[in-house]
Amino acid sequence: MWTEEQWAVIEPKRMSSVVVAAPGSGKTTVMTEHMAQIIAARLIPAQRILAMTFTRQAAEHMRQKLRAHKELRPEDVESCAMGTFHAVFFRALLEADRPVYPVLTQRDQYALMADAVCEVLGERRAVSAYELQSYLTLHSRMVGGQVPDIDAPTRKILQAYALRKRASRRWDHDDILLASLDLFQQPCDPSIRLFQARYILVDEFQDTNLVQWNLLTSLLARNEALGFVVGDDDQSIYGFRGASPEFLQRAVEALPYARQHLLTLNFRSDRSILRHAAQLIHHVKTRVHKPLRGVRDAEGVCQAYEVTDRTEQWVLAHGLLTSAVRRGYSVACLARTRNQLAAAWAALQQLCGTEWRVMANRMEFRTFHDSKGKEWDVVIVLDMAVSHDVNLADADEERRLIYVAMTRARHELHAVVPCTVEGRPRRPHPFLHEAGIPLVKASPRGRRLRFEIG
């Protein structure tokens, strides 16, 4: 059932593990099975095990898998502590009787940030959700250890936001982690469950920022605990939040008695998709070097198409979607931004006509970031064009982002390159060339849009 690589990770052992896993290699399944084997072997008591994830859904999925495991007793599974980074440390703050405050919803954050913008700029105006999210992202980057090069008005806006939070006695998620750092400056209270953990596991470790790294290493040291972290530095795509692949790369030196394991077998994608994805990611300057090997014999499809404009892009996408659905394939349209997806949705709805309801139930629309952790038989990547004077500020993060989009596909990967967008000339994204993806000129025929959506 398990490959030799996987069993080397799963096998219970009294040491720390750093697992660097290729996309489609089953890393979360392997981590969950490793937990099960540790519990079943009674190597570490279940109540001394802590597993942390980056989403509630991932934590719940892990718990459900353990509950269904035939070698585990229900009471052992319920004894394990599992949750997101934020939930685990928020619970510890409560147990430590530290002052905690209600956590802001996204809407509340937007409202406070909008007030901060208007206060600093001295004008009442409508502030777009995009602008508000940009400020909140900068704030998270600063908390996460990155100090972006920002101008004086922006810095004042972020300071005003922080003051408004404090005045309203509210927290955002960043405040939970910052307050948790103070737990390690005080004498240890052994009654706090966090400080009872002797085996600490973290999934998706490439999404870790500096504060989370400091929390984990401090916790391992204080508890004299062993660690197990799993991730893929090639899929680190949240640099704008302060996450860095550096922490996964450093983990083997930082964790006690640590050994690095590689999971290199991809069970998801056909050969051509893996070949071009590997060719792209090899251009990243600093990474854990690992092969990307497939188990599937099929060659699959990996193709880029150059079309005149976005209208032709959507006509081509409609044809690809229709073909995939008729063959019973799952299919997704991926794009960088939600605005691009909204435009594609509106155009494809018109092109599908009366078939839209059936088609819409068989396909998904996701941003590159939202697609992470998911997979489809057919993936169509839209708007793979850039302006002629584009300057990719963080080229390696851009490579990783496109790599994530590419490796969502099982059998077919189609990238579409419109030569003009809103009347402005565009050129193929340079990383299509780096990946060696064949580019052909396409002249889609068939149903036409009555208008072009910008």
- For residue 24, say whether it is annotated as part of any ligand binding site: yes
Cβ-Cβ contacts under 8 Å for 1 (sequence gap 6 or more)? none
- pLDDT of amino acid 394: 80
Residue 275 lies in a domain: yes
CA distance 54 to 58: 7
Residue 182 lies in a domain: yes
Listed in order, strand segments (DSSP E) in 214-373 are 226-231, 258-263, 265-266, 293-294, 301-309, 331-335, 363-367
Residue 366 lies in a domain: yes
- Residues 313-317 have a mean pLDDT of 95
Give the pair of three-digit tokens for residue 269.
């994608």
Final residue belonging to a domain, choices 170, 203, 221: 170
CA distance 279 to 407: 12
Final residue belonging to a domain, choices 228, 247, 263: 263
Q: What is this structure's pTM?
A: 0.90
Give the pair of three-digit tokens for residue 377.
């038989």
CA distance 116 to 244: 29
CA distance 360 to 355: 9
Asked if 194 and 75 sit in the same domain, the reply is yes
Asked if 322 and 188 sit in the same domain, the reply is no
Asked if 310 and 411 sit in the same domain, the reply is yes
Residue 73 lies in a domain: yes
Structural domain span for residue 146: 106-170
Q: Please report which helix (H) or strand (E) contains residue 389, including its range.
A: none
- For residue 22, say whether it is annotated as part of any ligand binding site: yes
Give the pair of three-digit tokens for residue 110.
């937007």
Asked if 292 and 370 sit in the same domain, the reply is yes
Q: How would you classify residue 436: left for phi > 0, otherwise alpha for psi between -120 and 50, otherwise beta? A: left
Distances (CA, A) of 233 to 83, 184, 208: 22, 28, 11
CA distance 328 to 48: 46
Q: Above pLDDT 70, what percent of the chain?
A: 95
Asked if 125 and 194 sit in the same domain, the reply is no
Asked if 199 and 137 sit in the same domain, the reply is no
- Phi, psi of 431, deg, nearest 5: -80, -15
Listed in order, strand segments (DSSP E) in 75-171 are 81-84
Q: What is the mean pLDDT of the chain?
A: 92
Distances (CA, A) of 368 to 133, 322, 393, 413: 17, 22, 18, 14
Query: DSSP letter at 436?
Result: T
- Residues 182-193 have a mean pLDDT of 84
Asked if 65 and 211 sit in the same domain, the reply is yes
- pLDDT of amino acid 76: 94
Strands 424-425 and 409-421: antiparallel
In this structure, of 44-58, 295-309, 390-404, the range with the lowest mean pLDDT score is 390-404
Asked if 396 and 286 sit in the same domain, the reply is yes
- Residues 241-248 have a mean pLDDT of 90
Model confidence pLDDT, tens digit, residues 427-438: 999 999 999 999
Asked if 138 and 77 sit in the same domain, the reply is no
- Phi, psi of 453, deg, nearest 5: -90, 130
- For residue 96, say whether it is annotated as part of any ligand binding site: no
Cβ-contact 320, 442 below 8 angstroms: no
Model confidence pLDDT, tens digit, residues 131-142: 888 888 888 877
What's the CATH code of the domain at 219? 3.40.50.300
- For residue 122, say whether it is annotated as part of any ligand binding site: no
- For residue 129, say whether it is annotated as part of any ligand binding site: no
Number of folded domains that form the chain? 3
CA distance 382 to 333: 7
Residue 437 lies in a domain: yes
Asked if 164 and 41 sit in the same domain, the reply is no
- Output the CA torsion sign for 145, 221, 183, 39: positive
Asked if 118 and 91 sit in the same domain, the reply is no
Query: DSSP letter at 184?
Result: G
Question: What does the radius of gyration of the chain's CA atoms come to, in whole angstroms?
Answer: 24
Give the pair of three-digit tokens for residue 18.
């750093």
Final residue belonging to a domain, choices 231, 263, 295: 263
Residue 35 lies in a domain: yes
Of 432, 15, 50, 387, the C-alpha closest to 216 is: 50
- Residues 412-438 have a mean pLDDT of 95
The count of residues in the chain is: 454
- pLDDT of amino acid 454: 32
Residue 450 lies in a domain: no
The total of other beta-carbon atoms located within 10 Å of residue 295's CB is 13
- For residue 23, say whether it is annotated as part of any ligand binding site: yes
pLDDT category at 389 given cuts 50, 70, 90 is low
- pLDDT of amino acid 391: 59
Question: How many CA atoms, within 13 angstroms, populate the side-chain half-sphere of residue 66?
Answer: 28
Asked if 112 and 93 sit in the same domain, the reply is no
Residue 375 lies in a domain: yes
- pLDDT of amino acid 450: 41
Give the pair of three-digit tokens for residue 153.
């008005």
Q: Is the pLDDT of residue 319 over 90?
A: yes
